Structure 1
């Protein structure tokens, strides 16, 4: 039996699926990761078969001009440019999705590949498992954070989900139907699904996997109107990194910095104006008398003049580094938030785009981080960042709450439970 794990985007969009893939492999399944070429390195890191589809949906953020737009919060212009580029490769992407999935018996999909993989699973007659990376299933208990922030009346909260998913569906449905026609499938009525694929999921009561823990639900309790076929036991973590695989230079720096180490990084996405991150790091280490690991990711960060105080790395194992830190300064991407919460260490959040803002708000509500500071405001807010770092360093209450959340996350293995749930639902 062979299972394909499908999504596009950055490492954060793929790694939860890798955790599930490893779980299926442990059960004797053949597994493969399907994504754009950018995902190949991640597949190779974990020894997974990789198949590529055309396109580079996140490549735009690596270009200086568009990174500057990102830094200034001009997201709509970036979206418009991304959609223009997508038209140049999307026909080939669809052909690649069909070709790369011909021999699979199960399709597990991240959010950025839902429509394509759903149609292919229907054509193949195999189960389709959508994975949500946050509490974005429609509910009356709280609003969709991409539509509104304040928790209002139940009907208005629900409308915020319905409106966004309907609007997205209207933008997609003609494109989806063209693909369905090529596959020989019945077309979707344009106005029949008020929530797009969520309506289809609900009509068919399809299993939905949530790769998150209850602690990131805005109300801190499970909504009563979430269906029983929405399963979310915990974050989807890959196996812990062996200590012996840690880079010796990083290991030595961590040892010498014990008790006063902090982390700065924006995950797998490049930093808008990357050298501002270095300038910020230098101010923090000098003002607070700490040492820092700066994870540059895809960014080109200049070497620090404070070489003994700041170690610049391209990547690092969060599960080994974060618990050794006193504070974790990050962009509040879903994967980094999960790793930070698991570590039991307070955060300071500098969100850049999209779900990073509600993620940062949730960490502050949990009491494990001070209020977030948008990354675009950092050049004029160094004092505010320093104060947030100082608060996170000195607050015993924040540290206690971080440890309490970490204990909750250690109570279950989300990836293992989700694999068992999928197999029980479709293959028992």
Structure 2
């Protein structure tokens, strides 16, 4: 069977699918991974067949409009922007998606691409699974739609999901029906989300129940399967982002550093970040490892206790750090949790505040929203974690629990069971 994996987003959206692709390949499946075209070299470095999807995720987030939205932290504005960005590329995206789906026997897609991919799957009569890395948006009485301004009231929670999907359909309706018309399907009078729900498409959530427990009122095809992490052997065999000799030497020269990095999210105010780092360096003895990621940070300071990289393998690096200061994207957060290192989540928007609040509530780190972050508040948070043995112990305990889980294995087992019994 040829399984197609489709994901759209940043590295945090792509790397878990690489872990899944490798395990599926080991199980004997033919696998092709479709992702934004700027991830071609990264995916192929693992010897995985790659299918380029139109668009460059890094260019999208660096557009002036997106950077403005990131600074505001407005989730609805970002959702609208994301739909508009995809709509502006719709002709190329439609070609990419139908071309990719025509190659495979079954599809696993992330939630960003699932709505459009589901149309191609309908046209080609392919079975599909949605594999979601973000907080769940499946109707439940347990909590309201994560990341939206709804109160947590049992009688209101399910309604919040209906309102959420109505908003999503408002943004997506025109493009979805254009795609349907283009590939010979009748226009849809109903929401694509209702079609997915009515078809009982399985939705697997690739995070641990250590963070969010599976609601008891979910149907059986809605699951929490666990984090999708690259195993150590596969990671060590890949040389795509091996650490430089200079970084290894710097790490060996002193105490464990404080890591600071915002991954694929452009820092909305580089000067504010540099002031916070400079204050931390000058007011403490901390060693700081700054990863610029997709951020453009001019005039980086020079300091003997500061080392700067543009990118690094978090799973390899984080166990070598004492504290990690991150934006709270699920990929980076997963690496921090599995490393057993206390985190400071300096959240900006979308799912990041959700994860930040969760790690604070569970006593494995601190949540310091970007808008509240100052040089003094960041230094105070670092000092607090240095002196809080309970948080450090909790972080290690959670990492041990995660080490006993096998999210990739659980996901592969479900994929095999569903596709091989339903497709054949």
TM-score (ref. length: structure 1):
0.89
Partner of 1:121: 121
Partner of 1:359: 355
Which secondary structure state, in structure 2, belongs to the residue aligned with residue 129 of structure 1?
strand
Partner of 2:308: 312
Partner of 1:230: 222
Does residue 1:329 correspond to 2:330, yes or no? no
Q: How many residues are paired up?
A: 415
Partner of 1:253: 250
8 Å contact kept, 1:265–1:294: yes
| 1:3-22 map, 5 Å | 3-22=3-22
Deviation at 1:148, TM superposition (A): 2.9
Relative distance call for 1:108 and 1:84 in structure 2 (3 A) is: closer
8 Å contact kept, 2:150–2:160: no
| 1:88-103 map, 5 Å | 88-103=88-103
8 Å contact kept, 2:319–2:340: yes
Partner of 1:273: 269
**C-alpha distance in structure 2 between counterparts of 1:368 and 1:78, whole Å:** 29
Partner of 2:380: 387
8 Å contact kept, 1:341–1:406: yes
Relative distance call for 1:49 and 1:79 in structure 2 (3 A) is: same
Which secondary structure state, in structure 2, belongs to the residue aligned with residue 51 of structure 1?
strand
Deviation at 1:69, TM superposition (A): 4.6
Deviation at 1:63, TM superposition (A): 3.9
Which secondary structure state, in structure 1, belongs to the residue aligned with residue 267 of structure 2?
coil
Does residue 1:415 correspond to 2:412, yes or no? no
**Moved segments of 4+, more than 6 Å:** none
8 Å contact kept, 1:332–1:359: yes
**C-alpha distance in structure 2 between counterparts of 1:69 and 1:163, whole Å:** 22
Unaligned residue ranges in structure 1 (runs of 5+): none
Partner of 1:205: 200
**C-alpha distance in structure 2 between counterparts of 1:325 and 1:250, whole Å:** 13
**C-alpha distance in structure 1 between counterparts of 2:206 and 2:74, whole Å:** 29
8 Å contact kept, 1:304–1:310: no
Deviation at 1:18, TM superposition (A): 1.6
Which secondary structure state, in structure 1, belongs to the residue aligned with residue 290 of structure 2?
strand
8 Å contact kept, 1:349–1:360: yes
Q: 1:258-283 CA distances to partner (integer Å, 9 max, x unpaired)?
A: 3x411000022322233433332222
Relative distance call for 1:249 and 1:42 in structure 2 (3 A) is: same
8 Å contact kept, 1:303–1:312: no
Deviation at 1:335, TM superposition (A): 1.1
Deviation at 1:227, TM superposition (A): 1.6
| 1:16-415 map, 5 Å | 16-56=16-56, 59-63=59-63, 66-73=66-73, 83-133=83-133, 134-148=135-149, 150-152=151-153, 154-190=154-190, 193=191, 196-197=192-193, 199-217=194-212, 221-240=213-232, 241-242=235-236, 245-258=242-255, 260-302=256-298, 304-370=300-366, 372-378=367-373, 381-415=374-408
